[in-house]
Chain A
C-alpha cells in the first residue's frame, strides 16, 4: 500500500467509558473503560485489522469511529474533517462515505424489508436514485456481491447466512463509501463461506480502492486480509505492525501469546506449550501499571507501576511494553 502523506482516517486518543450505575439516584458508581486512549491511522486502499479477545473493546472502537456511539474523549478525522464536531446533518452526509458490515447476518437485516429496500433505502433517502434508476443501481450492487438482480423482490429469511452477509455488504456498498468497518464480518460464517466472503471483500477493495477497518478475533482471517494489524488488550492497543512483521516477529508478550494460542490445522502439531494462564481482568478495575502484567510471563517490576508509553520500533511498528522502552517517541 502506498504510504501517501495524508491518511484517510486518523484516530487520536479515542476513549469510551461506560458508566456503571448503582444506588437510588442511579449515579455513575464506576466506569468501564471499554476503550482507553486508542490511536491509529488508516490510509486509502489499506486494510487495518483490529484483533483481541472478546470484550477488549474492538467493536466499541469501530462504533465510536463511525460515531454510532459517542466517545468519551478523542479525535477522529476522516478525510480531514473532524467527525466529532460535525452537526447532525453534516454527519448524515458523511455517513455516505463510511459504512459498516456486521457480524450477525440475521439480526443485521430488517426482517420486514425486501432485499431491494434494504440495499436501496439509503440511496433513496439521500436522493441519489429513484424509481427505475434505483432498481437498476440496487441490481448492479447485488450482482457485484454475487447475488441475482431478481433477488430484490425477496425477503432476507429466504437466504442462507452467507447470502445474507452478501446482502449486508451490498447495503454498505450501495452508497459507494471510501471506508468500511467490517465488524467480525465473517466470524459467523462457515469456513468455506468465510473464504468466499473474504475474497469478495478483497476484490471490491481492489476495484474501488476502499479502506477497511477489519475487526476479528480470527488470526488466520486477519493474516489473509490485513495489511497492518493492531492488537488490543483491555481497551488499549498494545502493538501495531504490518501483518507480515507482526506474525513473523511479534514483540509484545500478549501478541506472542495470542499467536501461540492460534490453533494450527494439523493434528500432529501439539498444542502450544505455555498458553496464557489466568483470565482477562475486569475492565472496571484494571490492574495497576500495565494491564497485562498479572498474566505476562516476562513482567518486570516496572510493569506494576506505570502503563508503558508507545515505543516506535520502526516507522510502521509500535508497541506499548516496558521490555522495549529504550527510545521514547
Chain B
C-alpha cells in the first residue's frame, strides 16, 4: 500500500466536499498528522487500558507489593511476589512507585481520566460558548430594558474573563467533593469565554450574509436558519479552539491533581502520579518523568492538530 505522501505526488487529488478539501489540506501538514496519529493511539490506549486495569489482575493498578517498591523501569519482579500479582511478562516496564504499584498500570488507568476530563470539559465549555455566542450574535439587537441582549452576555463574558481561572477552579474544587465529574464541570464552566467571542463574531457577520437572508426569504423557520445555515459556517474557529482547549483542560486537571485537589488518590491520574513522584525525584526519577512526558505528548499532540486544523480551515489558503 502506498503512503498518503506518495499518493499526493502521483495523482492529482480530486477535492469534492468541504470535508474532503479540509482533509486534503490537513494531510499536507506533517506535524498535524503526527498529532492526529498520537491522539488516536492515546485514545486506543486509554480505552484498552481502562479495560485491562479493570479486569486483568496483572494490570491492577492498586496491587501493592512493598517488596518491590521504587523499582526502575524494566526491572524484573521479585520471586517472593505471588504469581497472580506479577506484572505482565514478569517485568515492571515503567518501574514501580513507593508502594510497589506498577506505574504502567497506573498510567493506563490515568490516561482515560485525562482524556475524559479533556473531552468532557471542552464539550461543556463549547456548548456554553456556542449557546451564549449564538444568542449574542443572532438576537444581539433585542433590548431587555436599558441594555441589549448582546451587552448583557458580553459584559458577563468580560467579567468571567477577569477572574484568574485557575484560582477560581481551586476555590470551587475546595468547596465541592473532589470527584472527576465536579472537575469536568468546573473546568468546562470556566473556559467558555473564548468560544463565546468567536461564535458571536461569526454570527454577527453571518447574519447579514446573503445566503442567510435568502434562507429567511424562503420562509425557513428560525431554528433551521441558525442551526443548519449559520452554525456550520461558524464552526471552524470553534473546532480549532476546542482542540487546543482540550490540552489546556488536561493540563488544568493534572495541576489540580498535583496540588491534591483533583481526583481522589487511590485512583491514579497523571497529575497525582506526578505529585506522588515529586518526593522521590532523585531516587526514582521515572515516577516524575513518565507522567510528565505523557502530559507533554498529549498536550503537544492536541496543539499541533489544532494548529494544523486552523491552517486547513483557513479559506484564504484553501483556494490553492
Q: Which of B207-256 contact A (CB under 8 A)?
A: 209-211, 213-221, 224, 229, 232-233
* Distance, CA A103 to CA B221, complexed state (A): 24
Q: Are A171 and B233 in contact (CB under 8 A)?
A: no
Q: Are A102 and B210 in contact (CB under 8 A)?
A: yes
The residue of chain A having its C-beta at the shortest distance from the C-beta of B146 within the complex is: A25
Task: Determine how close the nearest CB of chain B comes to the CB of A107; give it in whole angstroms.
Answer: 5
Q: Are A175 and B218 in contact (CB under 8 A)?
A: yes
**Known contacts A110-B211, A111-B18, A155-B16: does B232 contact A121 (CB below 8 Å)?**
no
Q: Chain B residues with Cβ under 8 A from A99's Cβ? A: 217-218
Q: Chain A residues with Cβ under 8 A from B210's Cβ? A: 102-104, 107-108
* Distance, CA A103 to CA B211, complexed state (A): 11
Q: Is A1 an interface residue (CB 8 A)?
A: no
Q: Is B3 an interface residue (CB 8 A)?
A: no
> How many residues of B are counted as interface, with CB atoms below 8 angstroms from the partner's CB atoms?
20
* Distance, CA A107 to CA B205, complexed state (A): 12
* Distance, CA A68 to CA B18, complexed state (A): 29
Residue A122 contacts which of B18, B146, B220 (CB distance < 8 angstroms)? B220
* Distance, CA A100 to CA B215, complexed state (A): 10
Task: Determine how close the nearest CB of chain A comes to the CB of B56; give it in whole angstroms.
Answer: 46
Q: Which of A84-139 contact B (CB under 8 A)?
A: 91-96, 98-100, 102-104, 107-112, 121-122, 125-126
Residue A126 contacts which of B217, B219, B229 (CB distance < 8 angstroms)? B219
**Known contacts A68-B213, A125-B224: does B233 contact A110 (CB below 8 Å)?**
yes
Q: Is A51 an interface residue (CB 8 A)?
A: no
Q: Are B233 and A91 in contact (CB under 8 A)?
A: no
Task: Determine how close the nearest CB of chain B comes to the CB of A296; give it in whole angstroms.
Answer: 35
Q: Are B211 and A108 in contact (CB under 8 A)?
A: yes
Residue B218 contacts which of A95, A104, A111 (CB distance < 8 angstroms)? A95
Q: Are B211 and A100 in contact (CB under 8 A)?
A: no
- A 300-311 to B, binary, CB cutoff 8 A, 1 in contact else 0: 000000000000
Q: Chain A residues with Cβ under 8 A from B211's Cβ? A: 107-110
Q: Which of B133-149 contact A (CB under 8 A)?
A: 146
Listed A/B pairs (15) with beta-carbon separation below 8 Å? A68-B216, A91-B219, A96-B219, A98-B217, A99-B217, A100-B213, A102-B213, A110-B229, A111-B18, A111-B233, A112-B18, A122-B220, A125-B218, A125-B219, A171-B218
List 4 A-B pairs, minimum CB-CB distance, nearest first: A95-B219, A108-B210, A122-B218, A92-B219
Measured CB to CB, the residues of B under 8 A from A are 16-18, 146, 209-211, 213-221, 224, 229, 232-233
Known: A66-B217, A102-B213. 10 other contacts (CB 8 A): A93-B219, A96-B219, A108-B211, A109-B211, A110-B215, A121-B218, A125-B219, A125-B220, A125-B224, A171-B214
